Structure 1
Amino acid sequence: MMPVMPMFPLGLVLMPNMPMDLRIFEERYLKLLGDLVLEDKPEFGVVAIERGRESGGGEKRFGLGTIASVTEIGTTEEFYGLQSIGAQRFRVNNWLPDEPYPLADIDFIEDLVWDESLNPLLELLDVKVRKLLAFASEFTDLQYGSDTILSDDPMAAAWQLAGILPVGVLDQMDLLGSETADELLSRTNEIVETADETLRAMIAQQDGNDFGESQV
């Protein structure tokens, strides 16, 4: 039997090993938050929205996503929220009715396996991505800076380099769909190599908005 997972469609792509904070306002996701509090290992699926908006429902969703493993659930007088980190990737087999919140049958995707021969490329990409972030910060506010600290685990660091790139959802989805560690690094390198074009597209698409936390 395929696992059924509560889902959180967002206007962003969650990469494995990347942190994600959410402020939650919409009623259906407040219900999800309440259910997560009762779980020993709270987690949910995150899929990017292909077309539509985060709030209100009716959005078209991508069929590839990442499990968010919840690390903290907190409330203040102003908002409810959670902190999480990206875990295993998955593919959506079938969307179930959004009652009381989005649910889907999913298949988990095996984790990528690191090859030590990729270490030199990872080190090179670390430098390239940080230069790109420094450059991009001159044009727009970014969620991640050129001084972002990465994991000591090379596979986790590769995902994090992909995750901190200041690019749009389609490029992020392309990276998320990588089938090998080599492919992930190669795709990341291609994006960095076309930095000028990517930056121009990013600035036009974002229209001055930053890459801050999502609000739903």
Structure 2
Amino acid sequence: MTDRLPLFPLSSALFPGLVLPLNVFEERYRALVGDLLALPESTPRRFAVVAIRHGHEVSPTGQDGLDTGPLAGLGDDPMDALYGYGCVADAAGIAEQEGGGYELVATGIMRFRLMSVDASGPYLTAEIEEVPDAPGEGAGALVPEVVRVFGAYQKRLAGARERSLAGQEFPDDPTVLSYLIAAAVIAATPEKQRLLEAPDAASRLTSELRLLRHETSIIDKLPSLPAVELIQQPVCAN
């Protein structure tokens, strides 16, 4: 099943079920949010989020000031500049700021494959194809070990604050857990994107086990770090 939605490129991947706060100030994205607000109340305010492979999230400043065209920061070929998979987001809360910008909170809904990009309007739109989720063989059996290793990873990050993690509950659903960990683990965008593109939850959880063990071993070899700076998730500014 294909659909066409407004496209919002970001510097990082969004995962289904995860919350995305956005601070919207560029003209192209203000136009996008304005069009979402103009939809009937009964219509879902959805847009497509995709991570940037080559380029910049915010328009670079040129001789004539800030370039606000739909392809600003992405070059001439958006299909090359953007990753091929993303996540549909639903904007449940939108607040207008002084000066015409917006603050919004969106939630990841489902994965998609990027089929084509249209740059003829004030902002990019994309033809997308939904990518269904599947647990995959052995996904349920992986859950206890992934939870255990992720808990150890969190404790290494938290250091002296590890007691605050006691009693934390994790979802039993393999797919939900796989996306939660994909969003929470500290990793570069290409690694996060690989997790988003995994064919099923079992594959994603298996990759996350390797990643978490690797990252935990690195943390063990590092001197004490200000973990709070590592685990804070900034608001995306666009």
CA displacement at 1:72 relative to structure 2: 1.2
Post-superposition CA distance 1:9-60 (Å, at most 9, x none): 0001001111111010001000110111123100111100112111122322
2:153 to 127, 132, 135: 132
Aligned to 1:175: 195
2:131 to 102, 105, 109: 109
AA partner of residue 181 (structure 1): A
Q: Which has the larger radius of gyration?
A: 2
- Distance of aligned partners of 1:92 and 1:169 in 2 relative to their CA distance in 1, 3 Å threshold: same
- Distance of aligned partners of 1:146 and 1:168 in 2 relative to their CA distance in 1, 3 Å threshold: farther
RMSD: 2.9
Aligned to 2:54: 51
For 1:37 and 1:82, how far apart are their aligned partners in 2? Answer: 11
Aligned to 2:214: 194
- 1:73 has 2:76 as partner: no
For 2:127 and 2:172, how far apart are their aligned partners in 1? Answer: 33
Give 1:87-126 correspondences, 5 Å limit: 87-97=109-119, 99-113=121-135, 117-126=138-147
Aligned to 1:141: none
Equivalences, count:
204
Aligned to 1:142: none
Query: What TM-score do the two structures reach when normalised by structure 1?
Result: 0.82
CA displacement at 1:118 relative to structure 2: 3.1
Aligned to 1:34: 34
Query: What TM-score do the two structures reach when normalised by structure 2?
Result: 0.75
CA displacement at 1:68 relative to structure 2: 0.6
For 1:72 and 1:150, how far apart are their aligned partners in 2? Answer: 26
- Is the CA contact (8 Å cut-off) linking 1:21 and 1:82 kept in structure 2? yes
CA displacement at 1:213 relative to structure 2: 1.6
Bigger Cα displacement from structure 2, 127-136 vs 158-167: 127-136
For 1:88 and 1:214, how far apart are their aligned partners in 2? Answer: 20
Paired-residue identity, %: 25
AA partner of residue 204 (structure 2): L
- 1:82 has 2:104 as partner: yes
Classify the secondary structure of the residue corresponding to 2:115: strand
- Distance of aligned partners of 1:172 and 1:193 in 2 relative to their CA distance in 1, 3 Å threshold: same
What 5-or-longer segments of structure 2 have no aligned partner?
A: 60-71, 75-80
- Is the CA contact (8 Å cut-off) linking 1:167 and 1:198 kept in structure 2? no
CA displacement at 1:135 relative to structure 2: 2.4
- Distance of aligned partners of 1:98 and 1:14 in 2 relative to their CA distance in 1, 3 Å threshold: farther
Classify the secondary structure of the residue corresponding to 1:54: coil
- Is the CA contact (8 Å cut-off) linking 2:143 and 2:172 kept in structure 1? no
- Is the CA contact (8 Å cut-off) linking 2:7 and 2:47 kept in structure 1? yes
CA displacement at 1:137 relative to structure 2: 4.8
CA displacement at 1:160 relative to structure 2: 0.9
